[in-house]
Each structure stands twice: as C-alpha cells, then as structure tokens.
Amino acid sequence: MEQGYSMRNPSEIIVELIVEGLEVIGVKVGGKVLNLSEFEVEI
C-alpha cells in the first residue's frame, strides 16, 4: 500500500497476515516512512 504521494511525503506500508486454517492469528505491519510525528494506539 502506498500513501502520501499527493502531499509529497510518500510512504510504503507492508501488511502481512499470519493465518492458521480460517483463523488470523497474527498481523505484521512495517514499511518505509518519514517520521513527522509519533503516537501510540492501544488495542
């Protein structure tokens, strides 16, 4: 997934699902970004 190109701050986000059978048991998120700010999200 790509975002931010219209704002001239492009980033590339990579998402990977870890699946066993029909159940999602994990999610990995990573990529290349330019850090403009930082915050935490509790799930």
pLDDT along the chain (43 residues), means of 10: 75 91 95 77 87
Instruction: Indicate the burial class of 22 (C-beta count within 10 angstroms; 0-12, 13-18, 19 or more).
Output: exposed
pLDDT value for 20: 97
pLDDT value for 28: 95
User: What range does the domain containing 14 cover?
Assistant: 2-32
pLDDT value for 17: 96
Is residue 18 in a domain?
Answer: yes
Is residue 25 in a domain?
Answer: yes
Is residue 42 in a domain?
Answer: no
Q: What is the pTM of this model?
A: 0.50
d(CA 34, CA 41) in angstroms, rounded, equals: 19
Domain count, the chain: 1
Is residue 38 in a domain?
Answer: no
Is residue 8 in a domain?
Answer: yes
Where are the strands (E) in the chain, listed by range? 2-3, 11-20, 23-32
pLDDT value for 32: 76
d(CA 22, CA 6) in angstroms, rounded, equals: 37
